[in-house]
Structures are given as C-alpha cells and as structure tokens.
A and B are shown apart, each in its own frame.
Chain A
Amino acid sequence: GQSLEQPSEVTAVEGAIVQINCTYQTSGFYGLSWYQQHDGGAPTFLSYNALDGLEETGRFSSFLSRSDSYGYLLLQELQMKDSASYFCAVSGRGFQKLVFGTGTRLLVSP
C-alpha cells in the first residue's frame, strides 16, 4: 500500500518561516508534489521534486530525500493569505494518479 504522513496542524505568525514535513511509504515512486487548498477551494499546484535536493519557487521551496522517503515544504515570509491546507502527494511516472497525504492545516496569525 501507500501512505503519507504529515503533521495535522502548524501555526505561525506573519513574516515567519515554517516547514511542513512529509514522510511516505510507496511503491513505484517517481516524484513528490505539494498542493495548497484554501477552505472551500480547489487544490492548486505549488511544487514538485523528482530528484534529491531543494527546489525554490519564490517564497516556497520544496525538498526531497529519496533515500529517506522524506520531503518538506518551506514557506518563507509568511502572509495571512498562506493560511490553508497543504498536501504532499506522490506520483508514478507520466500521467499516473496522485496519492495525497492527509494534509497540514497552516494557520498564520498577525
């Protein structure tokens, strides 16, 4: 089977840095994605890692260690609008499905 573990909730203040961890157990792993979902909204793509290391996209960075089956999403210069749920998801090669974690709810306070 496949399983992904994330912390259920993280709180931080505006301007801070927060890291959301994801550990996974899966077969046929090809890459790790991160999606953001605001309450009542659709999941939207944030980042993707297929190789070990750090990928940076503006205020968001994502890291992957394939040998440790571990990744994280790093959010810098937090803003109130970053309050949302964040999901890691594993995928196989090509068009295959995403298998999502249970999600981490991020609460950013003033």
Chain B
Amino acid sequence: GAGVSQTPSNKVTEKGKYVELRCDPISGHTALYWYRQSLGQGPEFLIYFQGTGAADDSGLPNDRFFAVRPEGSVSTLKIQRTERGDSAMYLCASSQGRTSGRGNEQFFGPGTRLTVL
C-alpha cells in the first residue's frame, strides 16, 4: 500500500513569508507526527495528533508554528513569518500504535526541505 507522502518535496521562501507543508499519512493510521531535522542531527519532535486533536504540541518552537488535522487524516503544518533558522527538513510520520514487539513504530514520509532565504 501507499506510504506517507509529503508535499511539496522542496520549498524555498523568503524571510517573513508564510508557508504550508502537507502530510498524507498511511490510511487507517490514527496517530500523526511532525518532526524537524537539521543537517547532521536527529529528528526533533514538533507535534503529535491523535485523530483530529493535537495530543502533544510541546515541541512547537513558538507561536509562529501551527498544525491542523481537521478530518483526522491529512495534516498541514503552517509556519508564519518564516525566519532563516526555520530552514530544515520537515518530516511527517504516522503510526497505528501497535505495541506488540515493535513499540510505537512510526512510518516516515520523504520530508519537505524548507529553505528560508
């Protein structure tokens, strides 16, 4: 079946602009996660949805970052007034929360590389 997809694959924007990044999770996965990864670092948690609601948004760096998942499937990460420091790979992952031997195995999408000039 289809994996997690993310669009666009690359986004170049100017400082101060608004961007939206989209994630389509694996069908049937109730949990959806956003991470941010800088070069040479591990993915850094941003926010997690269980269904339509944000169950944990403790990783959002500030109020310029916001995410929605209105129908419990597709999610959009929104960044206002972008700054150069926002440049990174934004990864989305989904999970069905199996705990039998594989923990909370998360399936990652290919990411959106955001560059803020």
Using C-beta atoms within 8 Å of the partner chain, give the interface range for chain B.
20 to 34
Cα distance A87–B93 in the bound complex, in angstroms: 15
Q: Are A41 and B45 in contact (CB under 8 A)?
A: no
For window 1-36 of chain A, which residues contact chain B by CB distance below 8 Å?
A: 4, 30-31, 33
Q: Is the interface of B mostly helix, strand, loop or mixed?
A: loop
Is B70 in the interface zone, CB < 8 Å from A? no
Cα distance A43–B95 in the bound complex, in angstroms: 14
Q: How many A-B residue pairs have CB under 8 A?
A: 70
Q: Are B103 and A43 in contact (CB under 8 A)?
A: no
Q: Are B43 and A98 in contact (CB under 8 A)?
A: yes
Q: Contacts A95-B97, A97-B33 known; A45 to B42 CB distance under 8 Å?
A: no
Q: How far is the CB of B107 from chain A (nearest CB, A)?
A: 8
Contact partners of A43 in chain B: CB under 8 A: 43, 91, 93, 108
Other-chain contact of A96, B42, B56, B107, B108 (Cβ < 8 Å): B56
**Chain B positions 42 through 61: 1 when the CB is less than 8 Å from some CB of chain A, otherwise 0:** 11110010100001100100
For window 38-77 of chain A, which residues contact chain B by CB distance below 8 Å?
A: 41-45, 48, 50
Cα distance A44–B111 in the bound complex, in angstroms: 13
For window 25-55 of chain B, which residues contact chain A by CB distance below 8 Å?
A: 30-31, 33, 35, 40-45, 48, 50, 55
Cα distance A27–B75 in the bound complex, in angstroms: 29
Q: Are B55 and A95 in contact (CB under 8 A)?
A: yes
Name A's B-contacting residues (CB within 8 A).
Answer: 4, 30-31, 33, 41-45, 48, 50, 87, 89, 91, 93-103
